[in-house]
Amino acid sequence: EVEEREEFDVAVVGGGPAGSTAAALIAKRGHRVVLLERERFPRYQIGESLLPATVHGVCRLLDVSDEIEAAGFQVKRGGSFRWGTSPDPWNFLFALSPQLSGPTSYAYQVDRMTFDDILLKNAARHGVDVREEATALEALRGPDRVTGVRYTGPDGAAREISARHVLDASGGAGRLSRAVGGERTYSEFFRNLAVFGYFEGGGRLPGPDRGNILCAAFDQGWLWYIPLSDTLTSVGAVLHRDQAARIQADREGALRDAIDRCEIVRDFLSGATRVTEGTYGEIRVRKDYSYANSRFWTPGMALIGDAACFIDPVFSTGVHLATYAGLLAARSVNGVLSGDLDEARAFGEFEARYRREYAVFYEFLSAFYDMDQQEDSYFWQARKVTGSENLTSMEAFTTLVGGAFSGERALVDASAVAERFSTSSADLADAVARTGPAQTRSGERMNNLFGAPVVSEVMQEMNSIQRRGVTGPGTGEAPLIEGGLVPSADGLSWSEPDA
């Protein structure tokens, strides 16, 4: 039985990166926001390897950069890959991307308990009414829109909240997303499954690559190897979905077997011990995580983060897409609540930009899987893409994997934007060549990677947007979507573009 009904401007469901980002950016505009989170934080979550766009773009808008920096997370300068036919690992560094070069050409490997807790507490500090151990049960509906949410608090009593906007940021497992209508479509391509655990005392890559994520392909899939501190490492195997039964029956054996099949990770872990106690002591399995909803919003409600879509663990795009969606949704909500924008126009912009970022990464990640040429492997043969020809460059690659692809100034540090104009592609080719023979080969392979014409097309568009962004008047950004809106001067809402 319902005891009370409170009123808010906005109700956000879920306190992960998507929810905390949206809630804080709406509260910054002075609106009344409640955030319902089922767990008590800090809580465990996978998704530890971040991109610079989150760390230097979104975290800056959230006023939380100093705190993130002070948390002492492992600095990540890029990624190292034992991928494709070459036995040598090769690196990409965020610094190779003109959009990301400069003092902000790094991200972090984070313990998500700490990272998500910092973002949630930051939302509370911005005035969000954060309620933990509060589980949303369903969206409330009026005749033509979602009007709020029903939830239970720690005492188990059901309560209702009326809100002009509900944002579902409850991750992949929730059912609330159904309230927007449409359906969830699972990817035919990324039918993967992950089994993962934690190790103490694993080896490290040399020198500045020490904090890189290492992704290593082997005959049955690939492993991630993420240094979370000097001694703690997150290790996960991404395998074919068809092996679910075998893996569920013996998680530890399945992870061990994957490690034993992958020379570089096996060697790194030869002197390490698996953590068997506490939060990191469990071996976890995740599957059915590659999907997108056919609708991202309905009047009164929008989906952000994993509630809307997720692609695949390779390339660490999850938290980027989640925080980017949080930013886009906040702009749309703020635009509507201030009376400046009609809901359909504001959320049309949200969905168009969000889908575009998702789609480009989807194509890119597919192409990346396609790079591995293990002819006799069931896993790799199932991940062949057709039509990967004329492609872009290393430059495009590092920009994309750095999460600065959208070309949004909000996601790229201002100094990096200025600096990119001094980096010519010749400098870039130089930088690639300087990193050694293995890197050069990978550079060549990269030239073949961007098969989808959409990638190079949109990269060009991004460049012109960025150029106007630095030199142009007003907010400096042209609409990303034809006929669309541009970010407002404070970055927290949308405006009509200058005529």
**Residues 265-304: x/- map of binding to ligand FAD (CB under 6 A)?**
---------------------x--x---------------
Q: Rounded distance, CA 341 to CA 283, Å?
A: 47
Two tokens at 84?
A: 């494709």
Q: How far is the CB of 326 from ligand FAD (least distance, A)?
A: 8
Task: Give me the residue label for tokens 């990640």.
Answer: 365
Q: How far is the CB of 18 from ligand FAD (least distance, A)?
A: 3
Q: 351 and 301 in contact (C-beta within 8 Å)?
A: no
Q: Rounded distance, CA 204 to CA 206, Å?
A: 6
CB nearer to ligand FAD: give 148 or 174: 174
SS3 category, 109: strand
* Phi, psi (degrees; rounded to nearest 5) at 29: -90, 10
Is 49 near ligand FAD (CB under 6 A)?
yes
Is 174 near ligand FAD (CB under 6 A)?
yes
Strand 5-13 relative to strand 33-37, pairing: parallel
Is 78 near ligand FAD (CB under 6 A)?
no
* Phi, psi (degrees; rounded to nearest 5) at 2: -80, 130
**Residues 144-173: x/- map of binding to ligand FAD (CB under 6 A)?**
-------------------------xxx--
CB nearer to ligand FAD: give 132 or 257: 132
Q: 25 and 123 in contact (C-beta within 8 Å)?
A: no
CB nearer to ligand FAD: give 38 or 56: 38
Region near ligand FAD per CB under 6 A, out of 16-24, 76-84, 121-129, 451-459? 16-24
Give the chain's length: 499
- Cβ-defined contacts of 31-34 (< 8 Å, 24+): 31/333, 31/334, 31/337, 32/7, 32/8, 32/129, 33/8, 33/9, 33/123, 33/127, 33/128, 33/129, 34/6, 34/8, 34/10, 34/128, 34/129, 34/131, 34/161, 34/163
Two tokens at 395?
A: 């430059």
Q: How far is the CB of 140 from ligand FAD (least distance, A)?
A: 14
Two tokens at 244?
A: 């679910």
Q: Rounded distance, CA 53 to CA 194, Å?
A: 25
Contacts with ligand FAD: how many residues (CB under 6 A)? 37
Q: How far is the CB of 459 from ligand FAD (least distance, A)?
A: 22
Is 459 near ligand FAD (CB under 6 A)?
no
Is 47 near ligand FAD (CB under 6 A)?
yes
CB nearer to ligand FAD: give 319 or 336: 319
Is 53 near ligand FAD (CB under 6 A)?
no
CB nearer to ligand FAD: give 306 or 395: 306
Options 9, 17, 265, 370; binder of ligand FAD; rule CB under 6 A = 17
Binding positions for ligand FAD, 186-245, rule CB under 6 A: 194, 236
Residues that bind ligand FAD (CB under 6 A): 13-19, 36-39, 43, 45-50, 135-136, 169-171, 174, 194, 236, 286, 289, 305-306, 310, 313, 316, 318-320, 322
